[in-house]
Amino acid sequence: MSGQPALIATCAQGLEPVLEAELRALGFPRIRPLRAAVLFGATIQDGYRALLWSRIASRILFEVARFPCADRDELYDGVRTIDWSDHLGPRSTLAIQFVGVSRTLRHSGFAARVVKDAIVDQFRDKHGQRPSVDLDDPDLRIHVHLAAGKATVAIDLAGPPLHQRGLQREAGPAPLKENVAAAILALAGWPAAAREGRPLCDPMCGSGTILTEAAMVARDVAPGLHRTRWGHDRWRGHDATAWKGLLEEARQRKEAGRTVEVGLYGGDVDPDVLPFAVRNLARAGFADVVGQLVCRDARTAQAPEPIPGLLVTNPPYGARMHDEARADELLRDFGDTLRHRFLGWTAWILVGRPRQARALGLRPSARHPIRNGRLDARLLEVSIADTPPRGGPRGRESHQNSERS
Ligand SMILES: C[S@@+](CC[C@H](N)C(=O)[O-])C[C@H]1O[C@@H](n2cnc3c(N)ncnc32)[C@H](O)[C@@H]1O
């Protein structure tokens, strides 16, 4: 065994720099980016604070051991050396997640069984009883990561992944994960823009994930505050006093942020999907934003306020919902709408294919790679000139008229 215990925040690949910046802004010490993860913090309280306040992390892992591991025997011995009675009891249930391979440990299912055997053998030898496996709702989730000949064993403090905000959201056919939406908002500089009173508009908002996350940021609502299940609930090392204190602080901050004015605007052309956004925002406590949602074609959208703001949106890629040609045509017309009606705004548009980026017809000042589920997407950052181009938007008359929801 070696090294000081550490906390590991995991994330979608590509989001490491955004997560790193978020953890720095939260004030954690000892931050170091890894692949699809960021090392941070020093204490279990740091882990709890990240659970409640990281909008971008997928999981928070609390490292309990790290050891050289070349094969099955080293894995078994290393796991068995940990005193598991610090973490669970002989009648507890557990689930193992094993990530990584070595020359001789090529199958994660096999490696996970070796880890489980080492733990249950320790209990059987000491107590004559052993924990059992429960993959759905275990008392403890144990995460083992094998890379470069080293195994890292950690307690998964999150339990259900952190993008689940505990709000039972209703999702349309292609929803963004909440933590991906939060990462996009962080890249777009929404926290500062919200403080400056600038508006944010998502004219293809679907079930309203971007708007809900934006409201949470603006009103200082901890992303974990509504969750009721955590990985540490039945962990023997859980510090209930520290956790309660952090929850209470998060409740007070939410209360203090309740009256913050926030200019959020959204729309969607699909009358069946827009009610999801309305209900999701209401469920999250942002019913006052709901009056600003409109059922309309994004190509007829207007800047909702005279102050230039951020337009953040995730149009159909063409892969799952529209066919590609229709998705490209939509972006071509939408690019026109932006040039003529969103003067001085900054647009952040998540596209799934390079052709979509070209179809927009606006030169992005940056392209950020973002993994969205199984898609390698790109977030385009586009500064829209504050003077209109000559001529009106193409094909405007052919689009349906605005209509309030
Ligand atoms: C990828 S989904 C957005 C998902 C959303 N970010 C969420 O998390 O639910 C794209 C959305 O664009 C909407 N859409 C497609 N064409 C549109 C148009 N011309 N105007 C406005 N919305 C449109 C679809 O109805 C769909 O809800």
Interval between CA 204 and ligand 1 midpoint (Å) = 4
Pair type for strands 366-372 and 346-351:
unpaired
Residue 230 lies in a domain: no
State if residue 209 touches ligand 1 by the CB under 6 angstroms criterion.
Answer: yes
- CB–CB of 140/234 below 8 Å? yes
Domain that holds residue 188: 178-221+257-398
pLDDT at 317: 85
Interval between CA 46 and ligand 1 midpoint (Å) = 37
- Same domain for 266 and 121: no
Of 110, 126, 156, which closes a domain? Answer: 156
Counting the structural domains of the chain, the total is 2
pLDDT at 394: 57
pLDDT at 202: 98
| CATH number of the CATH domain containing 111 | 3.30.2130.30
Interval between CA 185 and ligand 1 midpoint (Å) = 17
Of 156, 191, 208, which closes a domain? Answer: 156
State if residue 176 touches ligand 1 by the CB under 6 angstroms criterion.
Answer: yes
Residue 211 lies in a domain: yes
- CB–CB of 348/397 below 8 Å? no
What amino acid is encoded at 135 in this protein?
L
- CB–CB of 39/32 below 8 Å? yes
State if residue 362 touches ligand 1 by the CB under 6 angstroms criterion.
Answer: no
Q: State which ligand 1 atom lies nearest to the alpha carbon of 277.
A: 9
State if residue 372 touches ligand 1 by the CB under 6 angstroms criterion.
Answer: no
DSSP count for the chain of H helices, then E strands: 11, 15
Residue 25 lies in a domain: yes
State if residue 210 touches ligand 1 by the CB under 6 angstroms criterion.
Answer: yes
pLDDT at 151: 96
| CATH number of the CATH domain containing 391 | 3.40.50.150
Please state, in angstroms and rounded to a whole number, the distance separating the CA atoms of residues 184 and 312.
8
- Same domain for 105 and 43: yes
The residue whose CB lies within 8 Å of the most ligand 1 atoms, and thus the one to mutate among 169, 200, 201, 204, is: 204
Q: Is 66 helix (H, G, I), strand (E, B) or coil?
A: strand
Closest CA to 365 of 352, 340, 348, 353: 348
- Same domain for 205 and 136: no
Sheet hosting strand 200-202, strand order edge to edge: 293-295, 264-268, 200-202, 310-313, 346-351, 375-383, 366-372
Residue 120 lies in a domain: yes
In our burial notation (b when 16+ CB lie closer than 10 A, e otherwise), range 372-400 reads beebebbbbbbebeeeeeeeebeeeeebe
- Same domain for 95 and 182: no
* Residues of the chain scoring pLDDT < 50: 1-2, 395-405
- Same domain for 381 and 268: yes
Residue whose CA is closest, atom 19 of ligand 1? 297
Residue whose CA is closest, atom 7 of ligand 1? 175
Interval between CA 266 and ligand 1 midpoint (Å) = 10
- Same domain for 350 and 210: yes
pLDDT at 253: 98
Torsion over CA: 307, 53, 178, 369 (sign) = positive
Residue 374 lies in a domain: yes
Residue 244 lies in a domain: no
- How distant is the alpha carbon of residue 67 from its chain centre? 30
- Same domain for 194 and 142: no
Name the residue with tokens 């504050």. Answer: 386
Residue whose CA is closest, atom 18 of ligand 1? 297
359's CB contacts (< 8 A; 6+ apart) are 328, 329, 331, 332, 335
Please state, in angstroms and rounded to a whole number, the distance separating the CA atoms of residues 369 and 302.
28
| 328-384 residue pLDDT tens | 999 999 999 999 999 999 999 999 888 888 899 999 999 999 988 888 899 999 999
pLDDT at 323: 80
What amino acid is encoded at 185 in this protein?
L
- Same domain for 145 and 29: yes
Residue 233 lies in a domain: no
Residue whose CA is closest, atom 17 of ligand 1? 269
- Same domain for 337 and 294: yes
State if residue 204 touches ligand 1 by the CB under 6 angstroms criterion.
Answer: yes
What amino acid is encoded at 75 in this protein?
L
State if residue 269 touches ligand 1 by the CB under 6 angstroms criterion.
Answer: yes
Please state, in angstroms and rounded to a whole number, the distance separating the CA atoms of residues 113 and 91.
18
Please state, in angstroms and rounded to a whole number, the distance separating the CA atoms of residues 34 and 22.
15
- Same domain for 207 and 122: no
- Same domain for 196 and 65: no
Please state, in angstroms and rounded to a whole number, the distance separating the CA atoms of residues 122 and 124.
6
State if residue 22 touches ligand 1 by the CB under 6 angstroms criterion.
Answer: no
Interval between CA 177 and ligand 1 midpoint (Å) = 14
Q: Is 190 helix (H, G, I), strand (E, B) or coil?
A: helix
Closest CA to 44 of 27, 63, 57, 31: 63
pLDDT at 397: 38
Residue whose CA is closest, atom 3 of ligand 1? 206
pLDDT at 374: 80
Interval between CA 205 and ligand 1 midpoint (Å) = 6
Residue whose CA is closest, atom 16 of ligand 1? 269
Interval between CA 207 and ligand 1 midpoint (Å) = 8
Interval between CA 203 and ligand 1 midpoint (Å) = 8
Of 156, 191, 210, which closes a domain? Answer: 156
Beta bridge partners of 67: 151
- Same domain for 31 and 143: yes
Closest CA to 354 of 369, 339, 373, 340: 369
Residue 311 has what DSSP assignment?
A: E
Please state, in angstroms and rounded to a whole number, the distance separating the CA atoms of residues 220 and 52.
12
Q: State which ligand 1 atom lies nearest to the alpha carbon of 298.
A: 20
Residue 270 lies in a domain: yes
The residue whose CB lies within 8 Å of the most ligand 1 atoms, and thus the one to mutate among 268, 314, 360, 370, is: 268
State if residue 206 touches ligand 1 by the CB under 6 angstroms criterion.
Answer: yes
* ipTM rounded to 2 decimals: 0.99
Distances (CA, A) of 385 to 168, 198, 312: 40, 17, 17
